[in-house]
Structure 1
Amino acid sequence: MAFSPDFLTVRVDLPRGADAVTTLDYTHFTVLLDASRRLARVAGVNVDGTALVDLERGDDWRLDDRVPAEAQTGPAVYANNGFDRGHLVRRRDPVWGVDAKQANSDTFHYTNAAPQASEFNQSAELWLGLENHVLDFASVERLRLSVFTAPVLSPDDPPYRGIRVPLRFWKIIAWVAGDDLASAAFVLDQSPLVPDAEKRRAITDEPELGPFRTFEVAVQQVASLTGLVMPELIAADHLPETVAAEPWRRLRSFSDIVL
């Protein structure tokens, strides 16, 4: 089964936009592929924390034969450079239940990847651990999450080997607290690591550029950045209004996260 909007006890749909996308269903997750950018506009996964299975990682990256190769960012973009194939849906997240082995394999489709500077992908423990932090912190209904992740596909992203390399990534985590849907949103900026110096840009007025920077933001900020429609997630934003008034909250550790 692919991503289900009814996985939580409160319905939450995949964010969608006006741009044409191809819907690709995998085991426990779904990717909305923007063929013009050759990257995902949205990837949504259901995570059942009570049924996760520990499997070997593997590394069988492959194109999805349901769509033309030229609509995907394939191996040529990642060859002999500083870019990693960064999972959008984390490999571990859909690997649960009786279909865990297939889910593990499905995450290695190029449609579930985006170019990430190697320092970002290999050292961003804060970004990679956000779901676990929310899962541990929140009173989550049956330890379940729905997680949405994608690059911010901006027309200003620097061109490279027939694509445009995204400079930012976003993630929204949704869970049920009591009887109500709750959500939290984050943005990661990899622009300091992208080689084209003219396209490096900060998203705040802060002069310091770190190797990667993670921000907690209002869900509405993600909707504005991406042009995606996500009314349930915006309404469920768990960020207090007093904190959300600060557009970009720089995170340096999990203790900085406000839930």
Structure 2
Amino acid sequence: MDEQLVAPILAAKDLSNREGFDENFLGPEVPLPALPDVAMVLLAYTHLSVLMHLDKRLAAVTGLGIDGETHGPGPLGNQLVAGPRLDEDQQTGERVYARNDIDRGHLVRRASAVWGDTRTEAAQANEDTFRCTNAAPQAAKFNQGLELWLGLESYLQNHAADNARRLVVFTGPIFSAVDPVYRGVEIPLRYFKVAVFLHQGELSAIGYVVDQAP
């Protein structure tokens, strides 16, 4: 990535033993993208990292490595909780999702992050996905739609598992001036995913944009 495209990243206290997204997960370096000229906080979790856009109170991008060889069903999900390394006014909490048809849309899907050589590693990855920092407001039909967000998540995850291969997936909202404001938070109308993988020994990538506008 060109240096001028890398935004300043504020120091954030890491959770103990969380190593975050591995930029060498595929072998060749695949760095986590960033937004230009925006101050962000990088948060490391198990198998994934979240780059928080503090002004938006949402992640700008998440980076995840999916290991199709050690991927498994893993433990069941937990309740979404606030990320402990940010103040409440720096992330989008339960107030936005209460008593409406807005889902707590995972940017990194729990099932995609649950892999590892030990049950402890998989369980820790499971827990780490249930943070407000890994969620974004999504219409229920969009988040759960087999032809929309859920379908795309399942396609990428199944591709890795069926072929016992590794994938790197970057995910995030596409911020826009026309995003509606709801309970003090701008609701992104579009989201992206970029999958990076090795094809015949060379880095390859494919990108998707999914729209939740009415």
TM-score calculated relative to the size of structure 2: 0.84
Q: Matched residue pairs, number?
A: 189
Looking at structure 2, the residues matched to 169 and 75 of structure 1 have their Cα atoms a distance apart, in angstroms, of 21
Report what 1:3 is aligned to.
21
Partner of 1:208: none
CA distance in 2, matches of 1:25, 1:13: 14
* SS of aligned partner of 1:123: coil
* Corresponding residue of 2:174: 152
> CA offset at residue 136 of structure 1?
6.8
Listed as ranges, the matches of 1:39-118 within 5 Å are: 39-97=58-116, 98=118, 99-118=121-140
Match of 1:13 among 31, 41, 44: 31
Residues 195-218 of structure 1, C-alpha deviations (whole Å, 9 max, x = no match): xxxxxxxxxxxxxxxxxxxxxxxx
| Alignment CA distance shift 1:126-1:53 (3 Å) | closer
CA RMSD of aligned residues (A): 1.6
SS of the residue aligned with 2:105?
Answer: strand
Tell me by how many angstroms 1:134 deviates.
Answer: 4.3
The equivalent of 1:219 in structure 2 is: none
Aligned to 1:161: 183
Cross-structure match for 2:11: none
Letter in 2 for 1:132: Q
Cα-to-partner distance string for 1:51-98 (whole Å, 9 max, x where unaligned): 113223223210011011101000000000010000000101121113
SS of residue matched to 2:130:
coil
Distance 1:134 1:33 in 2: 28
State the distance in 2 between where 1:54 and 1:107 align: 14
What does residue 126 of structure 1 align with? 151
Give the ranges of 4+ consecutive aligned residues of structure 1 lying more than 4 Å apart after TM superposition. Answer: none
Query: What amino acid is aligned across from residue 200 of structure 2 in structure 1?
Result: G
Deviation at 1:28, TM superposition (A): 0.4
Structure 1 gaps of 5+ residues are 193-259
Question: CA contact under 8 A between 2:82 and 2:93: conserved in structure 1?
Answer: yes
Deviation per residue, 1:22-68 (Å, 9 max, x gap): 00000000000001000000000011110113223223210011011
- What is the deviation of 1:177? 0.9
| TM-score calculated relative to the size of structure 1 | 0.70
